[in-house]
Amino acid sequence: MIKIGHIINPVVVNKSSDLFEAQPVTFETLKTAREFAGGRVTVELFSAQYPEDRVLVPEGFKLTPDLDRSVLDIAEFSIKRKLPFITDILNRLYEASEADYLIYTNVDIAVMPYFYVAVNNIIESGYDAFTINRRTISKEHIENRVMTMYAEVGEPHPGQDCFVFKRRLYPKFKLGKACVGAGRFGKVLITNLICHSDKFKVFKDKHLTFHLGDDRSHKVQGYKDYRNHNEQELYAILLNFKAAGLLNGKPLVERFLRNIERTD
């Protein structure tokens, strides 16, 4: 039986944040999916959190050691946001779990009950790394009506926010100082998945994950400097992989590099 370790990064927010409504849905659906997978897939749920956010982590999630640094420690930004590095989150998952496959999803991404069973089926078909694009549903179900959320098919979304990869790949990753919660973060992770896997795919049409609304708060103009930071980290990673010959025959990541160089 395949064992999966799945980590998220909960954060205490005020009621004006999209995460205030989204996170409880994420917590509930992850636990429901783990129960649904019982007997077919072994699933461990983990949290990577700052000390002040421990209170939010629900029962059923294993707390990893508290995060102790953020992007604010290495750069200046117009609006202060304590965003963790993806490498700190994934390091904690890798060290806490001996699972065969590791998963990171954004904390506002909910999953269908059969999520882990479907992930297991994809793994058994030979993929050692893949991403699953979410579907966007309306916010009309916000009053904790998870069953009606499941029932809404929603609309496809192009962004990457669910990453699955074989454990043995992780020591090869180069993630720089890219932070979660900002633009270009997904490209950093997907670049690593593509360059280090033997069989990779972006699943764009699966009804496996969903998000309430499509506010795209990371695109707020005041957060542009965080996106620029991640883009510079992505550029350095791409140049490193290019020098190692890892971009050859990988058109998607080759395009990432061309697009950055075109705008410089």
Domains assigned to the chain = 3-263 (3.90.550.10)
| 29 CB neighbour count, 10 Å cutoff | 21
Residues in the chain: 264
- The Cα 181–Cα 50 span in angstroms is 15
Pull the structure tokens for residue 249.
């025959």
Compute the average pLDDT of residues 202-215.
88
Q: Check whether 185 has a pLDDT greater than 60.
A: yes
Compute the average pLDDT of residues 27-42.
96
Which pTM value belongs to this model? Answer: 0.94
Q: How confident is the model at residue 216 (pLDDT cuts 50, 70, 90)?
A: low
pLDDT of residue 218: 47
List CB contacts of 152: < 8 A, sequence separation 6 or more.
137, 138, 141, 210
Which range among 9-23, 128-142, 192-206, 209-223 shows the weakest confidence by mean pLDDT? 209-223
Q: Check whether 155 has a pLDDT greater than 90.
A: no
* Cα–Cα nearest to 228, from 191, 202, 260, 205: 260
Compute the average pLDDT of residues 207-224.
75
Instruction: Give one word for 249, left, alpha or beta, with left for phi > 0 and alpha for psi -120 to 50.
Output: left
**Identity (one letter) of the amino acid at 70?**
S
Compute the average pLDDT of residues 83-110.
97
Q: Check whether 27 has a pLDDT greater than 90.
A: yes
* Cα–Cα nearest to 163, from 8, 3, 2: 8
Helix (H) or strand (E) holding 261: helix 251-263
- The Cα 211–Cα 193 span in angstroms is 23
Q: Which residue has the higher pLDDT, 261 or 7?
A: 7
pLDDT of residue 188: 97
Q: Check whether 44 has a pLDDT greater than 60.
A: yes
